[in-house]
């Protein structure tokens, strides 16, 4: 089904918002970072907000950051506090960061009053309040009291209609930061006028997670390369023996429809032609390369095979536009990472040759890391898996809709 082009780029941008010098600016960021024992193990999301925050600090603004962390389910749980993030924000932004013990009310306002120009205030976890996830209007109004302008910089939260992405926009002049601009502009490129050939690489465990995105891609791409455990459901739909490999029995009929739609649309729908298979999924397991698409009865496929690696790599290197979502195998185990690495290398090579390459989804970014490919070796790594997939599905993101409306 053809999808209307969305009015994404009509949104106000932070650089065009006439934010006056010294203003207090409320910025919704995505600081839902991986943390172990109070130590941030990956600060990418904090770094991604740097350009917008520094732009505002240079205008002598007081920058008030709001974010969620984990799933505290609407109550205060110390393990979900954003306080441990403060030193990382200080280090990355290079200025003093004050902490507000709540995201609304007197403690938030007093932390903001205590900060000077060109300083940052990080407020406590939005999700300590059940009203956040309910998109409660009054909670949005309370959040709006923390600033004079609102800047949306949490791309990873745009697919959720929460108070900090939706309700708050009714009460402050709002726009999007540099990260959200970059995310939407790149995703818009592959939605409206992609250079051809356009190849999508789709992996991961479940067909059920990717049904809508596959239907949307079939309307746009020239080829879809399917890997990961979801490939076995498609192989089962073609009556190929898949041994003990993971299969979603209740999605076999849907898989048949997707294959048929790709055929009707003249889209090359490519499944693995061989596999790495084992008798037991564990490090050091004896690996077998299957002779064909079929997997022996007593085996579980854990990665695409060497022939598939070659075929997929050639297809990727010949493409002008590439969208990659999801690994090709159990990449978390070093024995089964080869297929995912081969895709990452081919995408990096295609980027060097001028292709536009976009990675959507958390697992895909982790897969890139495991492959030793740096994020700047591809055109764009999306910071929001759910948001980027919903955008590619053609859905209007609630956080974008709210800013458009208000």
Distance, CA of 164 to CA of 158 (rounded, Å)? 10
User: Distance between CA atoms of 2 and 219, rounded to whole angstroms?
Assistant: 7
206 has catalytic annotation: yes
The residue from 189, 261, 317, 362 that is catalytic is: 362
What's the length of the chain?
A: 406
Q: Does residue 183 sit in helix, strand or coil?
A: helix
Which residue in 6, 45, 127, 210 is the catalytic one?
A: 45
Is residue 125 a contact partner of residue 67, using CB atoms and an 8 Å limit?
A: yes
Active site residue 362: yes
Given a contact cutoff of 8 angstroms between Cβ atoms, the answer to whether 398 and 166 are in contact is yes
Q: Can you say how many angstroms the Cα of residue 286 is from the centroid of all Cα atoms in its chain? A: 34
- Phi first, then psi: what are they for 246, rounded to 5°? -60, 130
Grouping H, G, I as helix, E, B as strand and the rest as coil, residue 59 is: coil
Q: Which of 266, 247, 267 is nearest to 255 (CA)?
A: 247
- Among residues 182, 206, 279, 395, which one is catalytic? 206
- Catalytic residue, chosen from 13, 54, 70, 386, is 386
- Other beta carbons within 10 angstroms of residue 353's beta carbon come to 10
Supply the residues annotated as catalytic. 45, 206, 362, 386
């Amino acid at each position: 089904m053809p999808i209307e082009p969305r009015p994404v780029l009509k949104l106000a941008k932070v650089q065009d918002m006439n934010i006056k010098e010294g203003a207090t600016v409320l910025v919704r960021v995505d600081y839902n970072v991986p943390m172990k024992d109070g130590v941030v193990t990956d600060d990418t999301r904090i770094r991604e907000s740097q350009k917008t925050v520094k732009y505002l600090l240079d205008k002598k603004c007081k920058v008030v950051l709001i974010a969620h962390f984990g799933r505290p389910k609407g109550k205060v749980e110390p393990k979900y506090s954003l306080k441990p993030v403060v030193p990382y924000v200080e280090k990355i932004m290079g200025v003093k960061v004050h902490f507000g013990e709540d995201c609304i009310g007197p403690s938030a306002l007093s932390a903001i009053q205590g900060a000077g120009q060109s300083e940052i205030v990080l407020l406590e976890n939005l999700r300590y309040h059940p009203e956040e996830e309910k998109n409660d209007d009054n909670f949005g109004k309370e959040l709006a009291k923390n600033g004079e302008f609102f800047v949306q910089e949490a791309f990873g939260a745009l697919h959720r209609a929460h108070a900090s992405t939706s309700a708050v926009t009714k009460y402050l002049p709002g726009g999007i930061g540099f990260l959200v601009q970059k995310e939407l502009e790149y995703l818009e490129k592959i939605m409206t006028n992609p250079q051809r050939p356009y190849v999508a690489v789709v992996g991961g465990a479940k067909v059920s997670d990717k049904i809508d995105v596959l239907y949307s891609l079939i309307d746009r791409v020239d080829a879809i390369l399917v890997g990961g455990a979801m490939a076995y459901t498609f192989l089962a739909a073609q009556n190929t023996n898949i041994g003990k490999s993971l299969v979603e029995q209740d999605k076999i009929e849907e898989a048949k429809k997707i294959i048929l739609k790709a055929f009707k649309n003249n889209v090359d729908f490519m499944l693995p032609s061989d596999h790495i298979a084992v008798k037991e999924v564990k490090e050091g397991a004896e690996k077998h390369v299957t002779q064909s698409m079929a997997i022996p009865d007593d085996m579980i496929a854990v990665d695409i095979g060497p022939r598939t690696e070659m075929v997929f790599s050639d297809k990727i290197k010949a493409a002008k536009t590439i969208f990659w979502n999801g690994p090709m195998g159990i990449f978390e185990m070093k024995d089964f990472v080869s297929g995912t690495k081969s895709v990452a290398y081919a995408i990096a090579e295609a980027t060097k040759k001028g292709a536009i390459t976009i990675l959507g989804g958390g697992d895909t970014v982790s897969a890139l890391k495991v492959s030793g490919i740096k994020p700047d070796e591809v055109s764009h790594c999306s910071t929001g898996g759910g948001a980027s997939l919903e955008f590619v599905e053609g859905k209007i993101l609630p956080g974008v809709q709210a800013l458009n409306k208000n």
